[in-house]
Amino acid sequence: MRERLDLIGVDVNNLPFEWEHFSLHDTGYSKYSDAFKGETYAGINFHPTYEAKMWRWLKAQDVLGNVLPKNDSVGFWIVGSAPDVNVVKPFYTHPEAA
Residue spans per domain, the chain = 2-83
- Contacts of 65-72 with CB under 8 Å at 24 or more apart are none
Q: What mean pLDDT, rounded, does the chain reach? A: 80
Q: What is the mean pLDDT of residues 80-84?
A: 65
pTM exceeding the 0.75 threshold for the entire prediction: no
- Reported as a single tens digit per residue, the pLDDT across 22-59 is 788 888 999 988 999 999 888 888 888 888 988 898 88
- Decide if pLDDT at 82 tops 70: no
Q: Which helix (H) or strand (E) holds 61?
A: helix 51-61
